[in-house]
């Protein structure tokens, strides 16, 4: 809190710069803790570079790992990872605000501006109330997930272990982090056709990926009897992507990775992979064994990602919807993008295009760099890059085989993907002043 308070008081620092700096400090501190001997099962510690990589993956709720979380880390190390996941999932500013509210400290205007940026809100109105809801929803959903997981895992292990496994995986899945402690890099593959584990996991991933604004809207629906445009777009696009993703994975993998499974197992595995691909990072099928066509399709799902205000990454479902809306409007000869009988402001369209172009530029640049320095299959390098950018965490096993330079590049990609390319550009770029005039309109041929 003292460090954050110092950050708040830095004269001239914009909210994006403070957010980027705050995340960086948490990553560096987390890396230091994970490098300590007490954090590892063998008591030997690990290289600081590897500690920072793991801390970045946890804080950015990605799930790409260099070591097997279940066997390499001691319980204190796993708890540190879980805390980093929680902080990264709901945001360090949310945690700082929670402590401030508990201590009955007034939230200043500057802090509200930073919260507005952190929660990707268009105004400060009701921002503190939203923070309270974020914390309440997170803890309530994670507690419910823990109890359900515990009831299932107790069949396979002692009660205390089942409760611990339930807590860790509930926090990991709801925050779309992709970490697991089953051991041997298995993720949820032992439960590929288990309906109970699949239902709980899919539910947590979807709730975490919808975003707190949508969850709040849904809970208020009984009173208001209406949903905002944002919630309608998120819910409809999320449902469409889940259905399409499930169908495509089922078709592509029917005669390969799904072949040994029964009909129910095939459906569960396809559904789980479709839901998880957009940001969660957990898997019930071995990603490295999927067809290249399936891997490339998952790359597209990961690039789209989850929804604004959630723990997930990617360009977000709303951005993707705006892009589709722009294409359809142009084809139909319409001037405006209309969604659910509401017109979108041009600044929203420009922002969607900017986010998409910056994200594409980052993915292309990182993939080219890795292709130049790592002698690996291109599809695997692309898959790992998009997974890092979108904080999805799915991997083909390539991350652990990269050089130190490659690991550093992936680490930076995870960080940029979590804070957002546009936020980073605002943080690093110079202050811009509003133009007092407009240039004359010019004409050029497009297409």
319-346 pLDDT, tens digit per residue, is 999 999 999 998 998 888 988 889 988 8
- What is residue 335's predicted lDDT score, i.e. its pLDDT? 85
Q: For 7-21, 51-65, 158-172, which range has the lowest pLDDT when averaged over its residues?
A: 7-21
- What is residue 67's predicted lDDT score, i.e. its pLDDT? 92
Q: Measuring CA to CA, which residue among 234, 238, 261, 240 is closest to residue 250?
A: 261
Using DSSP, state whether 135 is helix, strand or coil: helix
> From CA 6, how far away is CA 175, in angstroms rounded?
28
For residue 88, name the pLDDT band (cuts at 50, 70, 90): confident
The answer, yes or no, to whether residue 41 has pLDDT greater than 70, is yes
The answer, yes or no, to whether residue 59 has pLDDT greater than 80, is yes
Stretch 362-385: mean pLDDT: 94
Using DSSP, state whether 73 is helix, strand or coil: strand
pLDDT digits (tens, 9 = 90+) for 417-427: 888 776 666 55
Higher pLDDT, 421 or 117: 421
CA distances from 327 to 121, 218, 331, 424 (A): 26, 29, 6, 28
- Could you tell me the sign of the dihedral formed by the alpha carbons of 377, 382, 385, 390, in that order? negative
Stretch 68-90: mean pLDDT: 91
For residue 432, name the pLDDT band (cuts at 50, 70, 90): low
Stretch 429-434: mean pLDDT: 60
| Mean pLDDT for the chain overall | 85
The partner residues of 338 in beta bridges, in order of sequence, read: 343
Which residues make Cβ contacts (< 8 Å) with residue 37, sequence separation at least 6? 43, 44, 45
> From CA 252, how far away is CA 344, in angstroms rounded?
36
- What is residue 10's predicted lDDT score, i.e. its pLDDT? 47
Q: With beta carbons less than 8 A apart as the criterion, state whether 7 and 108 touch.
A: no
pTM comes to 0.88
Q: For 9-18, 187-196, 404-413, which range has the lowest pLDDT when averaged over its residues?
A: 9-18
Q: Measuring CA to CA, which residue among 392, 402, 395 is closest to residue 379?
A: 395
Q: With beta carbons less than 8 A apart as the criterion, state whether 299 and 412 touch.
A: no
The answer, yes or no, to whether residue 217 has pLDDT greater than 90, is no
The answer, yes or no, to whether residue 252 has pLDDT greater than 90, is yes
For residue 6, name the pLDDT band (cuts at 50, 70, 90): low
DSSP class of residue 37 equals G
CA distances from 408 to 13, 15, 79, 150, 249 (A): 27, 26, 24, 37, 31
Q: With beta carbons less than 8 A apart as the criterion, state whether 422 and 360 touch.
A: no
Stretch 101-130: mean pLDDT: 57
DSSP class of residue 40 equals B
Stretch 90-94: mean pLDDT: 61
DSSP string computed for 261-305: S-HHHHHHHHHHHHHHHTTT---SS-GGGS-HHHHHHHHHHHHH-
The answer, yes or no, to whether residue 351 has pLDDT greater than 50, is yes
The answer, yes or no, to whether residue 280 has pLDDT greater than 80, is yes
Higher pLDDT, 425 or 205: 205
- φ, ψ of residue 103 to 5 degrees: the values are -85, 5
The answer, yes or no, to whether residue 3 has pLDDT greater than 60, is no
The span from the first CA to the last CA of the chain, in angstroms, equals 53
């Amino acid at each position: 809190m003292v460090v954050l308070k110092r950050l708040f008081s830095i004269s001239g620092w914009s909210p994006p710069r403070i957010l980027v700096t705050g995340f960086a400090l948490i990553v560096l501190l987390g890396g230091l803790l994970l490098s300590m001997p007490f954090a590892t099962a063998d008591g030997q510690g690990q290289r600081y570079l590897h500690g920072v990589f793991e801390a970045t993956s946890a804080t950015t709720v990605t799930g790409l790992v260099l070591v097997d979380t279940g066997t390499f880390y001691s319980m204190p190390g796993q708890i540190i990872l879980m805390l980093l996941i929680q902080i990264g999932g709901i945001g360090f500013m949310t945690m700082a605000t929670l402590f401030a509210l508990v201590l009955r400290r007034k939230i200043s205007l500057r802090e509200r501006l930073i919260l507005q940026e952190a929660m990707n809100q268009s105004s400060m109105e009701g921002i503190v109330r939203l923070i309270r809801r974020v914390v309440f929803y997170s803890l309530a959903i994670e507690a419910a997930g823990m109890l359900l997981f515990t009831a299932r895992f107790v069949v396979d292990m002692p009660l205390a272990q089942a409760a611990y496994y339930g807590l860790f995986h509930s926090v990991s899945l709801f925050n779309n982090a992709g970490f697991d402690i089953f051991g041997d890099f298995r993720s949820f593959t032992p439960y590929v056709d288990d309906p109970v584990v699949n239902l709980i996991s899919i539910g947590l991933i979807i709730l975490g990926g919808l975003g707190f604004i949508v969850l709040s809207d849904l809970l208020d629906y009984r009173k208001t009897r209406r949903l905002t445009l944002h919630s309608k777009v998120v819910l409809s696009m999320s449902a469409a992507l889940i259905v399409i993703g499930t169908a495509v994975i089922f078709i592509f993998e029917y005669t390969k990775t799904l072949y040994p499974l029964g009909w129910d197992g095939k459906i569960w595995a396809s559904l789980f992979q479709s839901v998880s691909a957009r940001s969660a990072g957990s898997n019930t099928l071995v990603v490295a064994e999927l067809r290249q066509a399936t891997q490339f399709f998952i790359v597209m799902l990961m690039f789209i990602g989850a929804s604004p205000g959630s723990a997930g990454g990617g360009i977000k479902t709303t951005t993707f919807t705006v892009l589709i809306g722009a294409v359809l409007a142009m084809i139909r000869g319409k001037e405006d993008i209309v969604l659910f009988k509401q017109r979108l402001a041009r600044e929203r369209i420009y922002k969607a295009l900017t986010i998409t172009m910056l994200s594409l530029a980052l993915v292309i640049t990182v993939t080219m760099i890795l292709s130049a320095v790592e002698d690996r299959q291109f599809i695997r390098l692309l898959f790992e890059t998009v997974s890092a950018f979108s904080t999805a965490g799915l991997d083909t096993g390539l991350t652990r085989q990269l050089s130190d330079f490659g690991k550093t590049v992936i680490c930076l990609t995870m960080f940029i993907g979590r804070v957002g390319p546009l936020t980073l550009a605002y943080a690093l770029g110079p202050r811009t002043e509003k133009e007092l005039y407009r240039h004359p309109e010019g004409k050029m041929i497009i297409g």
